[in-house]
């Protein structure tokens, strides 16, 4: 009997969660309005950038020969992966589908991909270009979402702040290499 009750409990909990989930998605949609398709598209393009940025930093960190640079690149790579996760989560909350095929990384990217090389300065200059592009993209999507989608807007500010920190770190490394 106890066993049966716990099965019933579990099923009702699942149904309540499905029901609430649908309701929450509906309200989210209501708040975001007709812009939702455009926002999901922009978030997917940014997601392509983040996957490529993660790959570029992770590979570059393993190729460069300067330990201080390697450490910074590894730490930035971690942030880019986290950004990819945050964007994926938001796309799903908005009822969209996050890109799932690596072919789409190249199709959707705003900022492209620079193949990492052994030349440390080139790696840093390429990364700096990518960060500048990312900051512009998040600034654009922040403007797009400011009025209609405050949750995405906050996420854009959060990611943009970290991209600005990356830009600063890379500039510092380039200055330090010049000395
Ligand atoms: Fe990022
Ligand atoms: Fe970054």
**What pLDDT digit, counting tens, does each position of 104-114 carry?**
999 999 999 99
pLDDT value at 15 more than 80: no
From the CA of 71, how far away is ligand 1's center (Å)? 17
The proportion of the chain whose per-residue pLDDT surpasses 90, expressed as a percent, equals 80
Domain boundaries, given as residue ranges, for the chain? 33-178
Looking at all shown ligands, the one closest to residue 168's CA atom is: 2
From the CA of 179, how far away is ligand 1's center (Å)? 28
Q: How far apart are CA 106 and CA 135, in angstroms?
A: 19
Provide the phi-psi class of 95: left if phi over 0, else alpha when psi is between -120 and 50, else beta. Answer: left
From the CA of 178, how far away is ligand 1's center (Å)? 26
The proportion of the chain whose per-residue pLDDT surpasses 70, expressed as a percent, equals 87
Looking at all shown ligands, the one closest to residue 166's CA atom is: 2
Regarding pTM above 0.75, the answer is yes
- What confidence category does residue 179 fall into, taking pLDDT thresholds of 50, 70 and 90? confident
In this structure, are residues 130 and 114 in contact, taking their beta carbons and an 8 Å threshold? yes
From the CA of 137, how far away is ligand 1's center (Å)? 10
Give, in degrees to the nearest 5, the angle at Cα 96 between 40 and 136: 20
From the CA of 80, how far away is ligand 2's center (Å)? 6
From the CA of 17, how far away is ligand 1's center (Å)? 32
- The shares of helix, strand and coil residues in the chain, as percent rounded to the nearest 5, are 85, 0, 15
From the CA of 17, how far away is ligand 2's center (Å)? 36
pLDDT for 10: 56
From the CA of 76, how far away is ligand 2's center (Å)? 6
CATH topology for 33-178? Ferritin (1.20.1260)
From the CA of 42, how far away is ligand 1's center (Å)? 14
From the CA of 108, how far away is ligand 2's center (Å)? 17
């Amino acid at each position: 009997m106890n066993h049966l009750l716990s099965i019933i409990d579990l099923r009702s909990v699942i149904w309540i969660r499905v029901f609430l989930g649908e309701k929450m998605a509906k309200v989210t949609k209501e708040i975001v309005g007709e812009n939702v398709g455009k926002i999901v598209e922009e978030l997917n393009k940014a997601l392509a950038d983040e996957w490529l940025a993660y790959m570029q930093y992770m590979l570059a960190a393993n190729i460069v020969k300067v330990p201080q640079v390697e450490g910074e690149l590894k730490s930035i790579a971690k942030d880019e992966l986290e950004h990819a996760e945050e964007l994926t989560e938001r796309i799903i909350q908005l009822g969209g589908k996050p890109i799932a095929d690596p072919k789409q990384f190249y199709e959707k990217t705003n900022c492209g991909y620079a193949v990492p090389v052994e030349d440390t300065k080139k790696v840093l200059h390429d990364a700096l270009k990518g960060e500048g592009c990312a900051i512009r993209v998040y600034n654009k999507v922040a403007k797009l979402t400011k009025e209609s989608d405050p949750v995405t807007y906050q996420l854009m500010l959060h990611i943009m702040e970290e991209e600005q920190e990356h830009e600063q770190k890379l500039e510092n490394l380039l200055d330090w290499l010049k000395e």
